[in-house]
């Protein structure tokens, strides 16, 4: 799968998963905007070295890339990231929303500041960059977008109410944009990666040794390619395993005289997942 003449933006690409995605897309011919604020895991601080080091690695291997150090967390930053791509390469075909931070705490100890900071980078950050690139992709009648979700949002994880909420917000955003982007050949999908990165290495222990971030990138590459005909799909990926995660709706019950008591009596039937559908929007609900 080649990406000759295509341009990709990868946010949070100064290390970990983002750098792997940027390096592989560049190796396959894409021109890449490597965005990274250069902050610590909790989002504090700023440095240009992280993004530039990945750009240097790409160019040393014969690829083409430019660095960008704007923050995804503001509308101006999102616009500047996209403008960097347009100024350097004149187009944007691919957006990988990967930037993220952690502010973990048990919910009883979680502060509004910890919630706001995580939502600003993960959810608002993806919104800011996608909003800036959306008219570019609509004009070109083409686009591929990949959201970086998480099992913490899909399934839950202790101490990550803020992170999980932000990550599931990305899934809601994906479902809507898949519908709105279909007429302009814009596909948007999501991954829920399991990988050893700067954000996870302290909590993974020995298990992290088998979870190289490079084993997540092949799914991102496929979802970024013109041949990908999927949209609004979620893929769990890590350690070489890939599976689809989906939101299904059980057959349930119908009762025009529904009461709390009848719900209680039928709750096992309502919950029964033996028969389910995967919806493609609210139409027909």
C-alpha 77/C-alpha 178 separation (Å) is 24
Residues with a known catalytic role:
163
Q: How far, rounded to the nearest angstrom, does the alpha carbon of residue 234 sit from its chain's CA centroid?
A: 10
197 to each of 18, 62, 111, 150, 200, how far by Cα in Å? 10, 26, 25, 14, 5
Q: How many C-beta atoms lie closer than 10 Å to residue 35's C-beta?
A: 34
Classify each residue of 60-85 as buried b or exposed e, where b means 16 or more C-beta atoms within 10 Å of its C-beta: eeebebbbbbbbbbeeebbbbbbebb
């Amino acid at each position: 799968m080649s990406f000759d003449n295509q341009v990709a933006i990868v946010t949070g690409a100064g290390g970990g998963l983002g750098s792997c995605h940027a390096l592989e897309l560049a190796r396959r011919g894409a021109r890449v905007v490597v965005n990274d604020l250069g902050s610590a895991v909790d989002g504090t601080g700023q440095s240009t070295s992280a993004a530039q080091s990945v750009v240097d690695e790409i160019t040393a291997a014969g690829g083409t890339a430019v660095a960008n150090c704007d923050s995804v967390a503001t509308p101006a930053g999102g616009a500047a990231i996209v403008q960097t791509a347009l100024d350097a390469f004149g187009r944007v075909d691919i957006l990988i929303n990967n930037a993220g931070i952690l502010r973990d705490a048990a919910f009883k100890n979680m502060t509004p500041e910890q919630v706001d900071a995580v939502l600003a980078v993960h959810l608002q950050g993806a919104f800011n960059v996608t909003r800036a690139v959306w008219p570019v992709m609509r004009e070109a009648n083409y686009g591929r977008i990949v959201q970086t979700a998480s099992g913490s949002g899909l399934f839950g994880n202790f101490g990550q109410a803020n992170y999980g909420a932000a990550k599931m917000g990305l899934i809601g955003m994906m479902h809507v944009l898949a519908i709105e982007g279909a007429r302009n050949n814009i596909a948007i999908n999501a991954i829920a990666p399991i990988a050893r990165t700067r954000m996870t290495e302290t909590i993974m222990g020995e298990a992290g040794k088998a979870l190289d971030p490079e084993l997540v990138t092949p799914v991102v590459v496929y979802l970024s390619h013109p041949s990908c005909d999927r949209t609004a799909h979620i893929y769990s990926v890590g350690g070489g395993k890939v599976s689809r995660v989906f939101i299904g709706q059980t057959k349930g019950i119908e009762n025009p005289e529904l009461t709390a008591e009848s719900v209680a009596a039928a709750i096992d039937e309502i919950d029964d997942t033996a028969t389910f559908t995967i919806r493609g929007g609210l139409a027909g609900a």
